[in-house]
Amino acid sequence: MRLTILGCYSATPRSLTNPTSQLLEIRNHMFLIDCGEGTQVQLRKQKLKFSRIKHVFISHLHGDHFFGLPGLVSTFRLLGRESELHIYGPKGIKEAITLLLKLGDSWTNYPLLFHELNSKESELIFEDDKVSVRTIPLNHRVYTNGFLFEEKLAPRVLDVEAVAKYSIDKSEFRNIKNGKAGTAKSGESILNSDLTLDPPKPKSYAFCSDTAYKEDIVPLIKNVDLLYHESTFLETEEHLCAKTKHSTASEAARIAKKARVDKLVLGHYSTRYKSLELFKEEAQPIFSNVELAEDGKVFEI
């Protein structure tokens, strides 16, 4: 699983900082998470084959999280895309994108499928045999969801040493991989668990932006391998959090600690601060395994 930060700053795009967008590569999927203005250029700069994106997840309808989407949808049309594009986002996103396409008489020549969200409870919004995606209801000024991306448990792996030890015939390997017992040369039946190894632990990633401090999300993101939690402010600006419904770096760290996540990544920084290191310094005493998102940075999970 690989996460590329395309943009991790709040509010307005600037010469060297981009609004929120991330690309998650997970079990052959390319999931785009949020799409601030300039996202398609960021995708090009990172040399990502972005025509492979089939699912776009939009947390909320503030401009810094989705004003790059109309352009991306149009670019896919110009590039001759034929495959479906699925867009998951708050109710209203379909009307917005559809209106812009209508005004430009620029309907897509590929299927554009909207999955509008309005539940206040966490819900499963995407699932196949390898991956699931659930919403994480957040607390922001407008209806907002984070997203939990989870790999599914892969099949058990054949234990090469064990099958050799019991002299199991190769013709049985497929059945054993599918969970069946095996037959030793002696005729004895061998339990599947004695012939296979546990598959790699499935990985998980939780994206939580934008939100005020919200402890309710802790059970939803428990033990994830990577948590991206917004930290728009430092504690010195904590008084701005209630009105703007954003979090401080220490609040993000407290959520990470309570949820016992493996690693925390901070982002959605206000551009008022001179150094991003200040965010890390504030979070680290509370939760030590913390890193800073930066535009273009890649996290291997």
CB 275 within 8 A of CB 238: no
> Is 216 assigned to a binding site?
no
Q: Which is nearer to a second copy, 78 or 191 (CB)?
A: 78
Cβ contact 125:134 at 8 Å: yes
Q: Is 55 a known ligand-binding residue?
A: no
Of 71, 122, 158, 203, which lies in the binding site for a second copy, with binding defined by CB under 8 A? 71
282 neighbors 250 (Cβ within 8 angstroms): yes
Joined together, the tokens standing for residue 241 give 């959090």
Query: Is 210 annotated as contributing to ligand binding?
Result: yes
Asked if residue 201 binds a second copy (CB under 8 A), the reply is no
According to the binding rule CB under 8 A, does residue 15 interact with a second copy?
A: yes
Neighbours of 207 (CB within 10 A): 28
Q: How far is the CB of 171 from a second copy (least distance, A)?
A: 53
Residue 100 in contact with a second copy, rule: CB under 8 A? yes
Q: Which is catalytic among the residues 34, 64, 225, 295?
A: 64
Looking at 2, 84, 99, 298, which residue binds a second copy (CB under 8 A)?
Answer: 99
Looking at 51, 106, 122, 132, which residue binds a second copy (CB under 8 A)?
106
Site residues for a second copy, 127-156, by CB under 8 A, read 141-142
Does 164 sit near a second copy (CB under 8 A)? Answer: no
Q: Is 108 in the site for a second copy (CB under 8 A)?
A: no
Residue 286 to residue 252: CA distance in whole angstroms: 9
Q: How far is the CB of 38 from a second copy (least distance, A)?
A: 6
Closer CB to a second copy, residue 90 or residue 182?
90
Of 39-47, 118-126, 130-138, 256-264, which part binds a second copy (CB under 8 A)?
Answer: 39-47
169 included as an active-site residue: no
With respect to a second copy, which residue has the nearer C-beta, 15 or 275? 15
- Contacting range for a second copy; rule: CB under 8 A; set: 74-82, 179-187, 192-200, 213-221: 74-82
Query: Using an 8 Å Cβ cutoff, are 230 and 260 in contact?
Result: no
65 annotated to bind ligand: yes
DSSP bridge partners of 299:
3
Cβ atoms 265, 276 nearer than 8 A: no
Residue from the set 1, 8, 23, 93 that interacts with a second copy by CB under 8 A: 93
Applying CB under 8 A, the site for a second copy has a residue count of 37
Count of all residues that appear for the chain in the document: 301
The reply on whether position 120 binds a second copy by CB under 8 A is no
- Please give the annotated binding residues, written as ranges: 60, 62, 64-65, 140, 210, 268
Q: Which residues bind a second copy (CB under 8 A)?
A: 11-15, 37-38, 40-41, 44-45, 60-64, 67-68, 70-71, 74-75, 78-79, 90, 92-93, 95-96, 99-100, 103-106, 141-142
Which residues are known binding-site members for Zn(2+)?
60, 62, 64-65, 140, 210, 268
Q: Catalytic amino acids?
A: 64
